[in-house]
Amino acid sequence: MTVLTYAEKINLAATAIERACGSAEIAVVLGSGLGDYVEALSDVRAIDYKDIPHFPVSTVAGHKGRWYTGTLHGKRVCMMQGRFHAYEGYDLADVTMPIRVMQKLGVKTVILTNAAGGVNLDFHAGDLMLINDFINLSGKNPLTGPNLDEYGARFPDMTYSLDRELQALTLATAGKLGVPLQQGVYCWLNGPTYETPAEIRMTRILGADAVGMSTVPEIIVARHGGTRVLGISCITNMAAGVLDAPLNHAEVMEMGNKVKGTFRTLLDGVIAEL
Ligand code: HPA
């Protein structure tokens, strides 16, 4: 039996997606509660993750596990309804395989969305936050191991991990559309437990504005491979200890649902301008 390399698995997955759905120039990863945004696409073709060779399958409620490609504002856009998280037990090579596949398919811009807990005390549940930078508190990095030289350098820059031009364009678009948009630093902790109040106080001291269990591995791999990244968090709840109440996943999903209209307005506006 031949053992395939990671790079070969990426190529096989990319070929299957290209056959089923075609390629795309823009990609959107839809976070918890935001999966309905695929409805914005026209001329849609889709493939279930389980039908993509070597692709992981998602296990979280609210993450559906399907890849869509379609047209939006005259552009070819692919969308992932469901992403992979380290807390599900995947290693980071699996978590970030979709980003590598996007790079193979010729995607130049990826928009990463997520649900996050608000750490900044000026935030409120329901706010949207443009991600300016990140803190990786997971102790892990998706580029650990042999470098994939065909994608990028061994020691990639993270000064501009989140594309400055895309951030400016998003702020201008939000202003034009009257969509309130916070900005800040997203901090990745592994999960699946929500953080403790002490951990949230720590992340605030460290400079975080929001916390979550995703997105950072994807930012790192996108940056490594030269893909422009835009990150937007939906602050679905204030983080642990900010309010005197326990956190739960149902509340996160519910708030995702409540803000999806505004979220969609902003994403549509940004994609139209790309
Ligand atoms: N913490 C971590 N991840 C999250 C949160 C949170 O408070 N809310 C949504 N995703």
Domains belonging to the chain, first-starting first, are: 6-273 (3.40.50.1580)
The CA-based diameter of the chain, rounded to the nearest angstrom, is 58
Is the pLDDT score of 180 beyond 70? Answer: yes
What number is the average pLDDT over the span 76-93? 93
User: How far does the centroid of ligand 1 lie from the alpha carbon of residue 179, in Å?
Assistant: 22
Residue whose CA is closest, atom 9 of ligand 1? 116
Could you tell me the two tokens for 38?
């695929």
> How do residues 114-161 score in pLDDT, each as one tens digit?
999 999 999 999 999 999 999 999 999 999 999 999 999 999 999 999
Angle between helices 249-273 and 164-177 (to 10 degrees): 100
User: How far does the centroid of ligand 1 lie from the alpha carbon of residue 211, in Å?
Assistant: 6
Give the pLDDT confidence score for residue 35 in this predicted structure. Answer: 85
Asked if 79 is an active-site residue, the reply is: no
User: How far does the centroid of ligand 1 lie from the alpha carbon of residue 86, in Å?
Assistant: 14
Give the pLDDT confidence score for residue 107 in this predicted structure. Answer: 98
User: Is 115 touching ligand 1 by the criterion CB < 6 Å?
Assistant: yes
Burial class (CB in 10 A: 0-12, 13-18, 19+), 44: middle
3-class DSSP state of 177: helix
Residue whose CA is closest, atom 2 of ligand 1? 212
